[in-house]
């Protein structure tokens, strides 16, 4: 762009026309000299100060320090080549806030072709960039949800195949440990106890997989926060070790239980552990996480503290807002702490962040101590003996090992078991017999246990209150909507006995 005076117009008229056009644009317009000093700014530069007083100031002074050298390089290149260039950078406002800016340079050349001045046309793109980032985060969340749904189906099938043999292993171990001959042989008793403990490890691993492969309805139970933290750490142990992070636990020994949703609180603790891990990812010094629990004014206090760089000043008010993240693009959705805040608030508690005195971030959360309602008290177990011998239980499962273990346990507590390993036999026995309780597997070859329940309830409505589902995977929302209790494989003798009690007393 050459700088001729329009024919027939004075220089003053040309300046007036320029100002009239520039000051009615939505974009910001500045005229700068060869040193980068502002000669003129349109009124919409007011966020940097009085536009009149900006004249003569260094245009590079407001550029974010991390972007300044690059903008200077582009500026010099424009004057050297005479070619206007575009640039994206950040401006730092007087109050410390940062705005995203997109600029286009238009060189003004003398008749000889040398660049004398530069018109810089700029646009504040902060809002549209943030909107685009939110959109990308939502798309990523949807993609992750789809992956999780696919993973859930796969894990559910794998869990079913693993939990069936685990039911047999753990069930027979429990039966053997109750045998008098085994109780009198310390060596055999210890060997069987070891087998049982190792099977429990497998059970917890499978349960951990299914926990994160499906969503759960909020379901508050009377649980211990210390145990929940320990279970969560077991799931994350390998990830933290690979990252070179040591974990120290300082758990109050007499911490009371409270009513809480296991899966939701586990999600909160997972989020805090992952945030701590990511904050220390590039750290060369020792990486550590310390977790403490204590009781304060009838509230349970949990602290998760890391040895990372800490939380940036000015972020404490926004850290729990949706889409807020300090991670690189693509490495975080900014939803973890927001979701955690909602979960803790939904439990009647509160969560906040601070920097530890010795450095690093510290997250604190408080949960009220809530006792279970009177209706949650456990019932008296069914007593074994002659009084139960006429109480019949039908076991419907296609796994012979599961059927055999269930039969042994039911006989142990004095009940009279019957079995069916296929749908045809189950239907025939349900029609012909009168059962006090039905134990039915959710996954059956010809039809699901839920479909069989629907059929049986139509034939004999009394079975609606006598039915118990057993499952090695998950029935999703379907089983919860049936109104029937669900016993998860592998189950203990006590768990089966308690479930039978609830149905016989219904």
Positions of CATH 3.30.565.10 in the chain: 216-375
Positions of CATH 3.30.450.20 in the chain: 11-124
- Report the 10 Å Cβ neighbour count for 20: 9
DSSP lists the bridge partners of residue 37 as 58
| Domain 127-195+379-506 in CATH 3.40.190.10 | no
Residues of the chain with pLDDT under 70: 1-12, 14-15, 17-18, 22, 140-141, 144-145, 147-149, 151-152, 208-219, 314, 316-318, 322-335, 374-389, 474-477, 506
31/107 Cα distance (integer angstroms): 10
What fold does the segment set 11-124 form as a domain? Beta-Lactamase (3.30.450)
3-class secondary structure per residue, 348-382: CCEEEEEECCCCCEEEEEEEECCCCCHHHCCCCCC
- Supply 330's token pair: 């693509």
Write down the architecture of domain 216-375 according to CATH. 2-Layer Sandwich (3.30)
Residue 4: per-residue pLDDT = 46
CB-CB contact of 350 with 366 (8 Å):
yes
CB-CB contact of 436 with 405 (8 Å):
no
The CB-based long-range contact list for 446-454 (8 Å cut-off, 24+ gap) reads: 446/422, 447/423, 448/475, 449/396, 449/475, 450/475, 450/478, 450/479, 450/482, 452/396, 452/423, 452/426, 452/427, 453/482, 453/484
The alpha carbon torsion through 136, 139, 144, 148 (nearest 10 deg) reads 170
Positions of CATH 3.40.50.2300 in the chain: 127-195+379-506
- H-state helical runs in 377-490: 400-412, 423-432, 449-459, 476-482
Rg (CA), the chain: 34
Residue 26: per-residue pLDDT = 82
Residue 101: per-residue pLDDT = 93
pTM: 0.49
């Amino acid at each position: 762009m050459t700088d001729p005076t329009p024919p027939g117009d004075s220089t003053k008229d040309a300046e007036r026309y320029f100002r009239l056009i520039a000051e009615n644009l939505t974009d910001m317009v500045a005229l700068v000299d060869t040193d980068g000093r502002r000669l003129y700014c349109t009124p919409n530069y007011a966020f940097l100060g009085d536009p009149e007083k900006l004249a003569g100031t260094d245009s590079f002074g407001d550029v974010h320090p991390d972007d300044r050298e690059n903008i200077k390089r582009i500026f010099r290149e424009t004057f050297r080549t005479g070619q206007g260039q575009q640039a994206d950078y950040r401006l730092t406002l007087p109050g410390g806030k940062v705005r995203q800016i997109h600029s286009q340079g238009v060189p003004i050349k003398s008749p000889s072709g040398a660049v004398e001045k530069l018109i810089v046309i700029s646009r504040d793109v902060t809002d549209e960039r943030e909107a685009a980032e939110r959109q990308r985060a939502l798309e990523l969340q949807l993609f992750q949800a789809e992956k999780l749904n696919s993973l859930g189906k796969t894990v559910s099938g794998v869990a079913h195949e693993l939990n069936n043999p685990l039911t047999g292993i753990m069930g027979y171990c429990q039966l053997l440990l109750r045998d008098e001959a085994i109780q009198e042989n310390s060596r055999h008793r210890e060997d069987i106890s070891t087998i049982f403990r190792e099977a429990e490890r497998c059970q917890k691993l499978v349960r951990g997989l299914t926990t994160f492969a499906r969503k759960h309805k909020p379901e508050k139970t009377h649980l211990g926060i210390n145990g929940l933290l320990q279970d969560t750490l077991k799931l994350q142990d390998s990830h933290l070790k690979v990252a070179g992070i040591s974990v120290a636990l300082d758990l109050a020994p007499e911490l009371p239980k409270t009513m809480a949703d296991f899966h939701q609180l586990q999600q909160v603790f997972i989020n805090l552990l992952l945030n701590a891990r990511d904050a220390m990812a590039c750290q060369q010094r020792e990486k550590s996480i310390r977790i403490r629990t204590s009781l304060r004014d009838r509230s349970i206090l949990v602290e998760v503290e890391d040895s990372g760089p800490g939380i940036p000043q000015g972020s404490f008010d926004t850290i729990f807002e949706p889409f807020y993240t300090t991670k690189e693009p693509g490495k975080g959705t900014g939803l973890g702490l927001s979701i955690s805040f909602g979960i803790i608030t939904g439990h009647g508690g509160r969560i906040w962040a601070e920097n530890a005195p010795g450095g690093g971030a510290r997250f604190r959360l408080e949960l009220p101590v809530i006792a279970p309602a009177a209706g949650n008290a456990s019932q008296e177990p069914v007593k074994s003996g002659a009084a139960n011998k006429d109480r019949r239980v039908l076991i419907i499962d296609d796994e012979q090992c599961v059927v055999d273990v269930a039969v042994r346990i039911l006989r142990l507590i004095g009940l009279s078991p019957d079995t069916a390993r296929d749908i045809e036999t189950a239907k025939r026995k349900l029609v012909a017999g009168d059962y006090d309780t039905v134990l039915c597997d959710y996954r059956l070859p010809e039809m699901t246990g839920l479909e069989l329940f629907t059929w049986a309830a139509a034939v004999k409505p009394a079975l609606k209150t006598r039915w118990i589902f057993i499952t090695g995977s998950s029935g999703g929302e379907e089983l919860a909507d049936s109104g029937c209790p669900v016993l998860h494989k592998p189950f203990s003798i006590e768990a089966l006995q308690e479930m039978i009690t609830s149905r016989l007393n219904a």
